[in-house]
Amino acid sequence: MREIVLDTETTGFEPAEGHRIVEIGAIELFNHLPTGRTYHQYINPERGMPAGAFEVHGIGHDILETPGKSVPGGVTLRDKPVFARVGQAFLDFIGDAQLVIHNAAFDMKFLNHELQRCGLPNLPYARATDTLMIARSKFPGSPASLDALCRRFSIDNSMREKHGALLDSEILAEVYLELIGGRQPDLVLSSAAPAPTRSASGDLITWRPRPRPEPLPPRITEAELASHAAMVGKLGDAAIWKKEA
């Protein structure tokens, strides 16, 4: 099962008010284990950066709307690509995987706004697994922010001085696995996906284990069977081993 844990940073709260995405970070999980594949992109929002948004993520000091304010360091955005140049690469990375997002409604509305602007297909909301909703359902009445969940699950987020899409995705992946039952809920011991195979007609073939042509020999010895029968004989007619299936 392939999943993409995803986060965005933006210039504000509402795309309908002209706000845009400035960063996307995502990591790939296969069977609930990170594969090492990531996607990270800074994006020129083609507008100024409000001071409030800058205080949250520290991105775009070169396009701050505050007149006369100079902020050294940080991430510049004037030289970064606009979304239209990277939108298809983003869609190629996520493919048809389920998206794992904290407060999915926020990120999905921004992603679909950007995709629509450049004529790319929207992402159905059904593709989003919202970890915020999972946390609120699992721990009703408790704080459900990413930082609060890190404290609950003893996940180190000490590097999260400011929001960053890729770092937040990495932290969210750990939180997500705890929310669904532990870091390895399906007891999958390998993160490598099986190589797909195709039939002569080009159709994908899903591998399934086949039954053994010959059953394995029993490991119980004749002496053990005799000993068990003798023990059952001493238990009387009410013994469950004597009842017919």
> Where is 99: in which H helix or E strand?
strand 98-101
Q: Reduced to 3 states, what is the DSSP secondary structure of residue 88? A: helix
Q: Reduced to 3 states, what is the DSSP secondary structure of residue 127? A: helix
Report the DSSP pairing between strands 2-10 and 21-30.
Answer: antiparallel
Nearest CA to 48 out of 22, 24, 86, 71 is that of: 22
With a CB cutoff of 8 Å and minimum separation 6, the contacts of 236 are: none
Longest dimension (CA), the chain: 95
3-state secondary structure 82-104: CHHHHHHHHHHHHCCCEEEECCH
Q: What are phi and psi of 5, to 5 degrees?
A: -90, 125
Structure tokens at 111: 């992603």
Q: Is 19 a catalytic residue?
A: no
Residues labelled catalytic: 163
